[in-house]
Each structure stands twice: as structure tokens, then as C-alpha cells.
Amino acid sequence: MIRKCLFPVAGYGTRFLPATKAMPKEMLPLVNKPLVQYGVEEAVAAGMNNFSFVTGRGKRAIADHFDISYELETQIKGTGKEELLTSIRSLIDNNKFSFTRQNEMKGLGHAILSGQTLIGDEPFAVVLADDLCVVENGQDSVLAQMSKLYNQFRCSIVAIQEVPMDEVHKYGVIAGEPMKEGLFRVTDMVEKPPADKAPSNYAIIGRYILTPDIFDIIRDTEPGKNGEVQITDALLKQAKDGCVLAYKFKGRRFDCGSIDGFVEATNYVYENYYKKGQL
């Protein structure tokens, strides 16, 4: 059973400047809830209860969000506004939140390695909170789908989706041998390839389950594309020496790290959750 979930949230979010000049990208709200809270709720729905954040300078708002605000709560106690804090208060009361810092922005692989001190020696999930993943009512959350697969196969898993060939350059892309419907054993992985060098159009999105041996592998991984330590490079090594699975998840993903995806997600959440009183 996967209990721990790591959120690398140290990135600068430059695509959202000036909004992200003094505020973390992960605190941008979809309607009235910050992106990072959707990620935590997805993980809770997968049975996880221990959340670790790799933050950076200017990201204190995330730690404050997952902490009690006594003044505010006292102020609105007994008013109609109290219930607006119910969802976050319940997360705070029922889960554990820890924080560490990535001092230098050396890439996603490096950010994950910085989380080792909080994760320790057990398998864990990774959520990039700027990917919002939604599922039909009653379906397993994307992390729950992956967690079940982990229980069956006991190896690292990346979530993938098919993207148009002219978009593969934005993603890590896999090649794999089909194992069963929607599941591949990874044989190759390339970070942000040009379309003519991409091994497929299966793009890795921001959901991973990683086995803890990944930390030593990352430590031995040289900086790759853009001079950053890429998790894709570490996962390829893990795939060659052992097993990494790629899973075409059931559900829909919005790229909230881009303006278009963020607006699309906002409209989706407004229509499907907020207007139906589910937010």
C-alpha cells in the first residue's frame, strides 16, 4: 500500500508571470481551491495520508495552506463562511504534511532526490500539481488506479497519455512493449524529443509511482536536457536494469501549467463541480 506522496513544487512557474512573481504556481485557484489541494485530494482518494513537499524560495504559502489558521478560523466561527474551510481543515486533521527545500533549481529529478529525506526507504507517489487529473463519478482517482497496479507489479509506474505528434517535444515520451490493455513495459524514454526523434506519442504526465531505489539512480544520473537532472533519464536506467511500467490512465488530464489548459480546467471545475455544489 502506497502511503506517501511527494509534491515537487520548487519550479518558478514562469509561464504565469507576473501572477507567480510572489505566489507559487501551485496556489493558483481553479475556482476557489488551489491546484495543489486538488492533487492532495486525489492522493487521499488513493489511500495516501503522508504528504511531502519539495519547495523553494517564495513558496511559503503552500506550507501555510496546509496548516491551521487560528485567527481566520476564530474570526469566521459560527458564521455561514465556516463551511468554506471544511475541506482543507479535514485534510489538515487527517494527514501529515512535511516540507523540505530544493536550494537550486536543478530539474525534476533533482527535486525528487531532495525529497528523499522525507520519503525514506519506501515506494511513493509523485504528483506534479500543475496537472489536474479528473475521473468520472465513482471511478478510481488516477493515483488510485496506479496504486492498485503497483500492488500487483511492485515496480515504478509512469502515467501516460497520447498526445498529437506536434506536442511530443513538451513531454517525456516512452516506447514500450504492451503487457495488457493500457499497460506497457517501458523499453525507451526520451525527454522532450523533436517529433522525428520521438519513439511514440505516449507522453508522460505528472503522476508517478516510484520505488525507493530511484534515489540512488538519480544520484548517479548526470544532468541531461537543459542541463537539468531529468527523472526521465533515471527512469530509463531503472527500466533497463529492472522494470518500469507506463500506464494509460482512465480519466482526463488538464495541463494547468499552461494558460490554455488552466482556463479549460477552470471551466471544467466550474461546470462539473462548483455549479453542482461539489466543491
Contact positions with ligand UTP (CB under 6 A) in 81-110: 102, 105-108, 110
Query: Is residue 210 involved in binding ligand UTP (CB under 6 A)?
Result: no
Q: How far is the CB of 242 from ligand UTP (least distance, A)?
A: 24
Which residue(s) pair with 15 in the sheet?
none
In the list 11, 34, 39, 176, the residue contacting ligand UTP (rule: CB under 6 A) is: 11
- When binding is defined by CB under 6 A, the residue of 3, 15, 89, 252 that contacts ligand UTP is 15
CB of 19 to ligand UTP, least distance (A): 11
User: CB-wise, 87 or 258, nearer to ligand UTP?
Assistant: 258
Ramachandran category for residue 31: left, alpha or beta (phi over 0 → left; psi -120 to 50 → alpha): left
CB 158 within 8 A of CB 174: yes
In the block, residue with C-alpha cell 478510481: 140
The DSSP string of 154-196 is: -SEEEEEEE--GGGGGGSEEEEEEEEETTEEEEEEEEES--GG
Q: Which is nearer to ligand UTP, 21 or 154 (CB)?
A: 21
User: Do strands 50-55 and 96-101 pair parallel, antiparallel, or not at all (unpaired)?
Assistant: parallel
In the list 3, 12, 223, 251, the residue contacting ligand UTP (rule: CB under 6 A) is 12
- CB 134 to ligand UTP: min, Å: 18
Lookup result for grid cell 536536457:
225
**What Å distances lie between residue 215 and 90, 110, 144, 186, CA to CA?**
32, 9, 23, 19
- What does residue 190 show for φ and ψ, rounded to 5 degrees? -130, 135
Interacting residues with ligand UTP between 41 and 80 (CB under 6 A): 54
From the list 2, 5, 6, 10, which residue makes contact with ligand UTP (rule: CB under 6 A)? 10
Residues 6+ apart with CB under 8 A from 69: none
Side-chain-side CA neighbours of residue 218 (13 Å): 22
- Dist. CA 51–CA 96, nearest whole Å: 6
Identify the residue among 2, 35, 62, 111 touching ligand UTP (CB under 6 A). 111
Total residues contacting ligand UTP (rule CB under 6 A)?
A: 20
∠ CA 76-80-82 to the nearest 5 degrees? Answer: 45
Q: Interface with ligand UTP by CB under 6 A: which range of 10-18, 84-92, 175-183, 233-241? A: 10-18
Grid cell locating 263: 482556463
**Residue 81 C-beta: closest distance to ligand UTP, Å:** 31
Q: Tell me which residue has its CB nearest to ligand UTP.
A: 11
Q: What residues from 127 to 186 belong to the interface with ligand UTP (CB under 6 A)? A: 128, 130
Give the interface with ligand UTP as residue ranges (CB under 6 A). 8-15, 25, 54, 102, 105-108, 110-111, 128, 130, 257
